[in-house]
Amino acid sequence: MTRIELKPPYLLYLGDVPDDHHAKTGHGIAYWRRDRCAGQMRLPGCPVDTGLPELDVAGAIDAGVGTAVVGVASVGGVLLDSWIPALAALAEAGIDIAAGTHARLRDNARLREAAAKSGARLIDVREPPPGIEVGTGIKRPGKRVLMVGSDCAVGKKYSALALHRELAARGVKADFRATGQTGIMIAGEGIPVDAVVSDFVAGAAELLSPANDADHWDVIEGQGSLLHPGYAAVSLGLLHGSQPDAIVICHRAGLEYIDTDDVMVEIPPLDEVAETALRLVQVTNPRCVWAGISLDTSAMPDEQRRGYLADLAGKYGLPCVDPVATGMADIADFLLESVK
């Protein structure tokens, strides 16, 4: 697996990201590793706010920042020119720079020069480990649950982390398996499956969730969506390679269409999303079951949320939760009681 070690405390660099959707790395780290965060840095006019103290380069030095984390998931995974001056200044000050972009920090001459002067590290997180093989489909012991999204950025990472936290609190043997750059920064290890050559994505998922004890759970972060015209391939490879014993459908309340500027794809009812995933996972695990629905209901007031979740639970006969607002206890109960 890809393993990284980021020096705390962190500075979350948000640059000029236009909205929360493209700042999911920053928000994810601010939520799950807030105790390791010293502040944030934004360019003028950036509307995204993690609620952390605002720091400039001098403030970051005074705060003892060890790593500046690029908290932006840009379209195409590029490093924008507007980010480089601030990142270079941080590197010149001896602060490590970490990014999960497809574009490599070390390929930028200005950043390389700045880091060389101070000895700062340029940490490219979105690099899969060498030697990944083609998936075999061979069944392996241990239990696995995979988060499956109706779209990108609908809470797959939050759901997996919250479910892992719930299982661990109960003393269940479990590991969170990160499949994207933000999850890897949070967990310190994983495989960025969207950076793996497509023929080897299923093999990467097998490597990520190896054979284990019969009562051990791998809680696997999902990626993309089987419905997305751009990112379905990585979702399918992860589904086959994970061989999940259970899937959790992740969705954002009120979302009706896939978030793409080019093609309008309507999201079908969630039972159809689950049926599609279950039909495809039968290639490697015909016993896989649907364990519930994890929903982002952050736009709803508490009273509306309770009714919404209860209505869906009644409709589908399965646990329906919000990983942040309600936690994942009901889905953990289902897994431990129903998946043998």
Q: pLDDT at position 33, please? A: 97
Q: What are phi and psi of 6, to 5 degrees?
A: -100, 130
Question: Quick check: 194 pLDDT over 80?
Answer: yes
pLDDT beyond 90 at 75? no
Q: Do 143-338 and 2-124 fall under one CATH topology?
A: yes
Alpha helices in 72-134 (DSSP H): 84-92, 109-118
The answer, yes or no, to whether residue 4 has pLDDT greater than 90, is yes
The region of weakest confidence among 150-154, 162-166, 257-261, 327-331 is: 257-261
Q: Calculate mean pLDDT across residues 313-321.
A: 97
Buried b (16+ CB within 10 A) or exposed e, 150-189: bbbbbbbbbbbbbbbbbbeeeebebbbbbbbbbbbbbbeb
CA dist 337 and 340 (Å) reads 8
Report, as an integer, the average pLDDT of 226-249. 96
Topology at the third CATH level for domain 2-124: Rossmann fold (3.40.50)
pLDDT at 157 over 80: yes
pLDDT above 90: residue 225: yes
Whole-number pLDDT of residue 241: 98
Q: Which two tokens stand for residue 58?
A: 């001098």
pLDDT for res 51: 97
264: confidence class by pLDDT, cuts 50, 70, 90: confident
Share of the chain above pLDDT 70, in %: 99
Would the CA dihedral through 79, 73, 93, 184 be positive or negative?
Answer: negative
Residue 260 has pLDDT above 80, yes or no: no
**Confidence band of 67 (pLDDT split at 50, 70, 90):** very high
The predicted structure's pLDDT at residue 1: 86
Taking the C-alpha atoms of residue 165 and residue 66, their distance in angstroms, rounded to an integer, is 27
The residue ranges of every structural domain in the chain are 2-124, 143-338
What mean pLDDT do residues 76-83 have? 86
* Region 143-338: CATH code: 3.40.50.300
CA nearest to 249, candidates 277, 229, 230: 277
Mean of pLDDT values over 87-108:
96
The rounded distance, in Å, linking the Cα atoms of 26 and 73 is 9
Query: Would you say residue 65 has pLDDT above 70?
Result: yes
Could you tell me which residue, 12 or 73, shows the higher pLDDT?
12
User: Residue 76 pLDDT more than 70?
Assistant: no
Mean pLDDT throughout 196-200? 96
> At a CB cut-off of 8 Å and minimum separation 6, what does 193 contact?
128, 179, 180, 201, 204, 205, 208, 223, 234, 237, 238
Residues above pLDDT 90, as percent of the chain: 93
**Model confidence at 329: pLDDT above 80:** yes
Which long-range contacts link 164-172 to residues 24+ away (Cβ below 8 Å)? Answer: 164/219, 165/328, 166/327, 166/328, 166/329, 166/331, 166/332, 167/217, 167/219, 167/332, 167/335, 170/332, 170/336, 172/215, 172/217, 172/332, 172/336
